[in-house]
Amino acid sequence: MTRALRVFESMLRRLDRDSRKFSGNGLPAETVADLREAFARDGCRLDDELRLHTARVARLTVHADALTQASGIQAELERVRRFGADYPDDAIGAAKQLIEATAKLVLLKRNLPVDERQDLPALIKQAQQALHLHPAAVSQTRSGGNPDNSDSIRRILGALTSAAIGVAELRNRFGTDHGRLAEPTGLGPRHARFAVGTAATWCELMLDTLADPDAPWRKASATTPSAGGTLTTST
C-alpha cells in the first residue's frame, strides 16, 4: 500500500507541475478538495504540497473479543486487507484472530457452547459442522443436482478447512504474540496477502452461509429432533 501511495503522490505532483507550466495555475482547488476527502476516508492526509501521509498504527491489531457481529468482522477484514502488506507478521496474527472470532460468532448464533480452551483446529471443525460446511457433514445424497451435496463442494470444503488451520499454524511460527526474541525474517507482503486472503475466504463463506435463509443448516435445524424429543427451529 505504501509503495502505491508513493507512486500516486509522484504522479499527482507531476500533474500539478505540468498544469502550472502550461496554464500558470496548479490543479483546480475543487479537484484537490475532492482528492483530500477521498484519501481521508482511507485514513490518509494530502497536504498543501500534495504529499500523502498515512495514519500508521504502532501495530496492526485486532480486538477479537469485541467482534460479536458479522459486520464487525467484515470491517476488520477490510482493514487488515488494507494495511496487511505493511505489517506482514501482524497481518498473519490478525488473520488467525479473525478466523477464531468468526468461528465463535457462528457457534454463538447457533446457540452452541464456546469452549475458550479449545484449540483453533477443533473450533474451526465445530463451527463448520454447525453450518453443515464440514466435508464430513455434506450429504452423500445426489438428489436434484443440489450443489451443496456435490463431491466438488466436499473437496473444496476439505481444502478450505485445511487452509484455515494452516493460517493458525503459520501464525504460531511467524505471527505475533508468541514471545519471539527476534522479528521473523523473510516475511513480505505476499505472505501477508496469502494469509489474509485465505482467512477472508473462510470467514466470508461462514458469514454468508450463516446469513443465507436457504442454507442447508437451516433446513436441518428445522427438522432435527432435539434431545427432549421436540423439533428444533432455525435461528
| pLDDT tens per residue across span 138-171 | 765 555 567 877 888 889 999 999 999 999 898 8
Q: Can you give the pTM of this predicted structure? A: 0.67
Residue 26 shares a structural domain with residue 91: no
Q: What is the pLDDT of residue 227?
A: 39
* Higher per-residue pLDDT: 220 or 112: 112
Residue 38 shares a structural domain with residue 119: no
> What's the maximum distance between 2 C-alpha atoms anywhere in the chain?
83
Instruction: Name residue, grid cell 505493511.
Output: 86
Cell of 132: 453443515
> How does pLDDT run across 21-59, given as a tens digit for each residue?
888 788 888 898 888 888 877 767 888 888 887 655 556
Residue 158 shares a structural domain with residue 109: yes
> How does pLDDT run across 168-221, given as a tens digit for each residue?
898 887 755 544 444 555 778 898 899 999 999 999 999 999 999 999 898 876
User: Which CA distances in Å does 198 have to 18, 98, 175, 201?
Assistant: 43, 11, 15, 5
Residue 40 shares a structural domain with residue 132: no
Residue 125's pLDDT band, with cuts at 50, 70 and 90, is very high
Does the residue 78 lie in any domain? Answer: yes
Residue 9 shares a structural domain with residue 81: no
Residue 9 shares a structural domain with residue 88: no
Does the residue 230 lie in any domain? Answer: no
Across the range 55-77, mean pLDDT stands at 77
Residue 16 shares a structural domain with residue 126: no
* Higher per-residue pLDDT: 130 or 42: 130
Residue 148 shares a structural domain with residue 182: yes
Does the residue 178 lie in any domain? Answer: yes
Residue 48 shares a structural domain with residue 107: no
In terms of DSSP H, where are the helices of 186-233?
A: 189-211, 216-223
Does the residue 46 lie in any domain? Answer: yes
Residue 37 shares a structural domain with residue 139: no
Does the residue 24 lie in any domain? Answer: yes
